[in-house]
Structures are given as structure tokens and as C-alpha cells.
Amino acid sequence: MLTDWVKGAAPAKATWMLHRAFEQARKELADPRVSQVLNWLAAVVKVFRGWEMERSESHLIESRAYFSGDDDLCYKTIVRHFENASRYVNVCVFTITDDRIADAMVCAAGRGVKVRVLTDDEKAFDVGSDIEWLQRRGVEVRTDDSIHHMHHKFAVFDGEVLLNGSYNWTRGASDFNEENIVATNDRGLIEQFQKEFDRLWRAYS
């Protein structure tokens, strides 16, 4: 398929093929008015291709791993991203019992940030769970209704940052377990995780 070929082609080769396609169209359509339209369309395509290349080059992917034994950087990273959020945070985490993180979530919601939480239905009723407390303070929460677990541990912040890893949002994970979190601004990964959140949010409605 042409689409697959273009995606796999080098930029210079794809540009050459685009130019050839316009040239062939001009030959087939001899009407000068049609030729003018094609010239205009070629100019528009050129502008948008240049804009897309600049946009791609300006977006440098930055990723960093954090580990639970590294000066509490896992929970501090989560809290910091809630403090920096300005529009929305979509949370999909198996269990939440760390009051420091729950406080940051409520503070973000209090600033007008839309905070949504997906979590496991069984873990929501564990001793020390912050889920009911979050709901009472205006955070929208949904739980799975499966005999199996909703075992994800990720969050998307403003569509710009993804946190993902083994780390449950608990004091046990912070103080005792060997855990990790990866923070990234990789747009492709963010989009995939956001789609998974949206799918589960609909499923648990």
C-alpha cells in the first residue's frame, strides 16, 4: 500500500515522490486553472510538511527512571507532577494508600485540575485505602467489576507526561519494596496509555 510505503520511506525519497505526483497531475490536467490550483495545493503541502518537521525536531523525548530506594524519589516524583498539573490527570493505579500522594491529588483538584482515578474494586476497600477519602473530596473514581484485578500503575498528566512502572501508590512501596517508575514525555507512549485509560473508563462506567 502507498501509505505503508510512504511511512517507511526516507524523507527525501517521500518528498521526491510527492513532487512527481504533482507533476504527473499537471500533465494529465491541461487546464491552466487546474494547474494553478495544483500549484497552490503543492505550496500548502510544503508549508505543512515544514511545520511538521519543525514540530518533530523541537520535541525531544526525555525519559527517566526512578527507584524506590533512591531518596523517596518515586513518591516525590508523583507528588511533583500533581503540583505541576494544570488541566487534567488520569490515574490508573491498582491501589492508593499513601496519604502524601492523596493529598497532592486533592490539592490539584482544588486548583481546578480534573483528576480521574481508575482503581481495583477489591483494593479500594483495604484498610488504609484513600479511595473513599478522595471521592468525598470531589475526585471522580471508578473501579473495575471483574473477578480479576485492575493491576495497572500509570498516570497521564496534561497529555504531556506519563508515569508508569511497578510502583503502587502506597507507603509499603515507598518504604519497603523494590519498585520503579519511569517518567517520559514520549508522545507515542502517552497516546497509547491514554487510549487504554479511556477504554477502561468507558468499561467501568
Task: State the catalytic residues.
Answer: 151, 153, 158
Q: Do the Cβ atoms of 201 and 91 come closer than 8 Å?
A: no
- Terminal alpha carbon distance of the chain: 39
Q: Which helix (H) or strand (E) holds 27?
A: helix 11-28
Q: How many CB atoms lie within 10 A of CB 80?
A: 13
Q: Do the Cβ atoms of 165 and 182 come closer than 8 Å?
A: yes
For the chain, the C-alpha Rg in angstroms (whole number) is 24
- Report the C-alpha gap between 193 and 187 in whole angstroms: 10
- Report the C-alpha gap between 91 and 98 in whole angstroms: 14
Residue with cell 525519497: 13
Cα 148 from chain centroid (whole Å): 25
Nearest Cα to 157, choosing from 98, 79, 99? Answer: 79
Nine-digit cell at 85? 498539573
Residue with cell 495544483: 38
